[in-house]
A and B are shown apart, each in its own frame.
Chain A
Amino acid sequence: MNIDFFPSGPAVQIEEEKRILFIADIHMGIEYELQKHGFFIRTRGQDRITRICDLVKEADPDILVILGDVKHRIPGTSYQEFYELGNLFSALRKIIPFYVTPGNHDPGIEEFLKPEEMRKKEGSIIDQVGILHGHTIPDEELQGKLILCGHHHPTVTLRDQVGVALRSPCFILGEVDSHIFPEEMDSETTTLLMIPSCNEMTGYGIEKTFHSPFSPLSRSLIIETAEVLLPDGTYAGSLHSHLHYDETATT
């Protein structure tokens, strides 16, 4: 298994039999929805499409997997999404075969996709790796695998001696408690990789996620086994050390 990190996504590429590039949470149309919450900024949709296409060209995978939340509005599709999703998928089709695992923001996404581009939302296997968006209980067949998911938008805070120095998207890698699966099988350990959001406006502190977990997967991640990685694969310490920063600090 070969692993590569691409900070411009952020994305991860795993090579087993095939080279597969994984991104998550593009949230096209977020600007339109932000207007309802008081932010009036022009859409950056086209910039995002260009960035993703450039990323694909750089990584040169065999397949691209988008781990859900390609669109933003629930329910329905805004004019911005209608226009920009069309642009995104037609740009991608020109350069790469891709799959989408639908997320909680994706009702209606099928209108933009060919049936063969859609994957099961409960999860499926591609080249021995489990894939799903991450808002649902994962399918039985993912047990014992390496699972990749989006949904959580993990963001880490790095501190130095004086204060907060950097907020960065991050990957979280750790073991999953097998209780999550309806029927536990005596299999190998299940490992989970949470992929940061590909949308440059979103991000959710991991302190918050694991203090009050909001998804089956975040509830089942065994914190003591989990590690934090920066978008370029830099090791950023254990998840435990970030959740319990106080205890590791000295005065």
Chain B
Amino acid sequence: MNKTLEVAKYEYMHHVSKRRFWVGLFLLPLGMLAIFGLSILMSAWSIDTSPVGYVDQSGLITLAPEKHSKGGLFDERVQLIGYKSIDEATAAANEGEIQAFVVVPANYLSSFKLEYRFIKPINEGIQKEVSNFMRSNLMAGEIVPNLARVQEGPDFISQSLDGSKTNTPNEFLKMFVPMIVGILFFVVVIMSGSYLLQAVVEEKENRTIEVMITSTSPNQLMAGKIIGNISVGLTQLLVWVAMAFIAALIFREKVPLLFELDLSFKSLAVSLLLLMPAFIFTAALMATLGATVTDTEESQQVSGIIILPMTLPYYFVAVFMEHPNGLIAKVLSYFPLSSPVATTLRMAFTNLSTFEIIGIFISQVIFAVFSVWLAGKVFKRGMLSYHRRLKLKDIFSKEASHA
């Protein structure tokens, strides 16, 4: 065990002491900050803050809407304007005075459903504004029936003026967590996986391997390399999460959009839970590849085999949105390389049962254990194969081929 730790420590210090590690550590968050900053800016510019009307058929609205003027680029509050009838509100919308209007039906206190008729689809800002307005009005009375439900706010049934389109509020925001998990998974796994791949191939290239395996067992050596390189990745991850947290604290007042992100604790917890076995699986697979090839150049060519499947969930985003419990979504959430992103994506669009989440997690742990076993086996077979790429039959044959 001590030698495993010595190998892990060396691998960790070897990468952390390199300039490229520090460049990557700070350059990537800066790049992401720039991209997110730009997209938030574009999103803020594109948010329509023109007024939204309302038609009260319930007689519950007694307070006049609060008047406010635009407070800056990120102020997405909208002015609410009351109309007597749906026809009047529709006419105002058609004339461009308002971008949409809300109908408070007569049975609102039993249904808590609002009809939202729009020219431009509803966004989180409007939803929040209308919800607050409804809450203020309902709670203004001395007796508030069904207080808990009132506080929860209304449900929106949203459709265009002509009834041809419906929409749910901002699908992009729902995908924020899966996107972030995906990007972190990509970057961390690819970076530490590449380090691992490189470490194994370099040891073959510079012939250090024979000295190493007469000092420690191949299993200890491989375990140490995996632990060391995963620790490098986790260090990066921790620093980035800390940076994101600090950035959120600094910018939360200035960018209200950040509050609207669908940051479900369950979704985050499941993502993090799945990251570890996925991480081990990928790292072990990289090490396996490293043991089969003969030089760094060849290793870079074959690492694409691992990286490509990780991107699969992004190709199927539309399928995830439409059929989060469909075959493709399910297969990708059990497939080890795509599991963290696919599972989090599914959770954004459907409610996954705890049973299924546990099932996915157990399957990922099994894949991870299998991959480490495979890495050890391939490593033993391929470590002294200096001049020849290891073939599948070599791995499962009785003995390694001639070095």
Same complex for A and B? Answer no
Residues of A within 8 A of B (CB): none
